[in-house]
């Protein structure tokens, strides 16, 4: 049976995500879940509003709020005033969260190197180019 393209895209992503989570846990960041990371990885460098995080993660605002509450209690994120709207707050990666980023980045680089070794440089470059091109019609947040 031939797998559909969505599943073929999801399987490698899931492997990458699992390896990042495992590396974070091994480094002592053992209080994060994949659901929380789906929110955390969408936080922009200057912070992101909760409603935007919910929309991008395709969860309800209540679910996003619950996950952000958990992340905040664990010290991964902080809520700060939005400088463009005094009524709004931004979710921003905290100091602790920023300490985890190089660990995650190193795992992503390692996985990409493994995939490049498996596929070859040309195929990996084609894969990246094709996925980047598909993003034009699939990612409303690009």
* Residue-wise pLDDT tens digits, 76-104: 999 999 999 888 999 999 999 999 999 99
- For the cut 80, the answer to whether the pLDDT of residue 124 exceeds it is yes
Domain definitions of the chain by residue range: 1-30+94-142, 33-93
Cα angle value 20/129/58 (rounded, 5°): 50
Please give the model's pTM, rounded to 2 decimal places. Answer: 0.86
Widest pairwise Cα distance in the chain: 55
Side-chain half-sphere of 71: how many Cα atoms within 13 Å?
Answer: 30
* Residue-wise pLDDT tens digits, 10-50: 999 999 999 999 999 999 999 999 999 999 999 999 999 99
CATH number corresponding to 33-93? 1.10.10.10
């Amino acid at each position: 049976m031939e797998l559909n393209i969505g599943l073929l895209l999801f399987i490698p992503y899931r492997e990458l995500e699992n390896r990042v989570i495992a590396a974070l846990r091994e480094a002592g960041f053992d209080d994060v879940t994949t659901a929380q990371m789906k929110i955390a990885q969408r936080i922009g460098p200057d912070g992101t509003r909760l409603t935007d995080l919910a929309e991008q993660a395709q969860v309800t605002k209540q679910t996003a709020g619950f996950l952000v509450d958990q992340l905040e209690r664990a010290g991964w994120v902080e809520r700060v005033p939005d400088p463009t709207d005094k009524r709004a707050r931004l979710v921003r990666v905290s100091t602790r969260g920023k300490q985890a980023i190089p660990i995650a980045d190193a795992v992503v680089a390692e996985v990409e190197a493994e995939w490049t070794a498996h596929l070859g440089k040309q195929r990996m470059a084609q894969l990246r180019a094709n996925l980047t091109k598909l993003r034009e019609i699939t990612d409303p947040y690009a």
